[in-house]
Structure 1
């Protein structure tokens, strides 16, 4: 049996992970989650202001820019991750207004009603209080605007899956809180957010390397919860 990885809080974990964290979906779970998120994202974002909360190395900012967003703002807790995002976005920044801001989902350093579209991919599990996180995402979204949010599926938590990585030969995992669908439903109802669509993507076997060591149960269950939410007008 392999030893359990050292568990880290998000700020410490992503500071270590940033140097090897690409601006793309780089494992089968992320690819499944990303396919669902992009399916719910408008095909064209021309003229739109897009906010990516927990932007990491900038993968969803890149997608928003490629779909024509006029302004893209990325917020992340980790300064090293924002440095990676800045490098990844450099080639596209001349074509649009791009801002990168260090801050927490629990208290976003962004004015009210800033974005037509707010993205938050695989981040809310790093916050214990789901309703507080969704309240912040709602606040920074314009009335009538869209929120796209995803998280690791709670089934994965029940099966013992971890958000893990290696740095300098050591094995680590990021602290993560399980949020059930019922928690999302209750939080959205309390905030007046309308749940428009929910996707539960499955792994694509084609994404899994032939020599991968993984829980075979992952092929039988959804690996992410993905929501399209609407802020009331």
Structure 2
């Protein structure tokens, strides 16, 4: 049995970009997206939104559909940003795409009324610096809607895997427990407003699909609605 090579995120997404859709394309993503869209404000008319880890533009399209006036999409991968630009087409008139790390976003403080970060924080090893950046770019009183693969999946050995050039690869992923989120949010001045732990919908699973049947019994994502309520505690990232 062959071992799936685990790549650094930048290398993984450079390979994956050519075939990466701008929509939820597997059962885990469908479950995660339903929870994210439930927590995302329905009316974003006139709002400025940051999509941190925007990839091919999946959530950029959703926030534009809800009326966002300006969207700043940031991603580590130039190939994924190019894919997003191609997918967004005429909607690019309201979008600015930038290359940058999740823990060093190339944006001014308090840029966003709402910040979105979908299935990205697991690609950084330290949670708190990434959350600190999401907090920094969000205005006081603004919201952050953030998701990651559930830590249960990591414990069961699930991979963020994909195929490229006829081979299977995986992107490196670090599990962040709920206790880590709770402690980091407390130090950073982020209120945890709501939490979702979505389960798979069997209707999303293709017939004859080969997958871990335990996935039907456990949550597959951890999804947060956070509100920036204050300044970070001094020294909280040390």
Q: TM-score range by the shorter chain?
A: over 0.9
Corresponding position of 1:113: 110
Q: Distance in 1 between matches of 2:104 and 2:91?
A: 28
Task: Give per-residue Cα distances to partners, 1:113-165, cap 9 Å, x unaligned.
Answer: 00000000000001111010000000000010000000000000000000000
Corresponding position of 1:52: 51
Corresponding position of 2:146: 149
Q: Distance in 2 between matches of 1:40 and 1:190?
A: 23
Q: How does 1:37-186 map to 2 (within 5 A)?
A: 37-94=36-93, 97-186=94-183
Q: Distance in 2 between matches of 1:137 and 1:3?
A: 38
1:231 aligns with 2:196: no
Task: Give per-residue Cα distances to partners, 1:181-225, cap 9 Å, x unaligned.
Answer: 000000001111000000000000000011110000000000000
Q: Distance in 1 between matches of 2:108 and 2:135?
A: 11
Q: Distance in 2 between matches of 1:146 and 1:88?
A: 26
Q: Distance in 1 between matches of 2:3 and 2:158?
A: 11
Q: Secondary structure at the match of 1:149?
A: strand
Q: Distance in 2 between matches of 1:132 and 1:69?
A: 27
Unaligned runs of 5+ in 1: none
How many residues are aligned here? 230
Task: Give per-residue Cα distances to partners, 1:30-61, cap 9 Å, x unaligned.
Answer: 00000000000111100000000000000000
Displacement after TM superposition at 1:91 (Å): 2.7
Displacement after TM superposition at 1:4 (Å): 2.2
Q: Distance in 1 between matches of 2:125 and 2:193?
A: 24
TM-score by length of 1: 0.97
Corresponding position of 2:23: 24
Corresponding position of 1:191: 188
Displacement after TM superposition at 1:173 (Å): 0.3
Corresponding position of 2:204: 207
Displacement after TM superposition at 1:3 (Å): 2.0
Corresponding position of 2:234: none
Unaligned runs of 5+ in 2: 231-238
Q: Distance in 2 between matches of 1:144 and 1:106?
A: 21
Q: Distance in 2 between matches of 1:93 and 1:120?
A: 19
Q: Secondary structure at the match of 1:194?
A: strand
Q: Is the 8 A contact 2:85 2:92 kept in 1?
A: no
Displacement after TM superposition at 1:93 (Å): 2.8
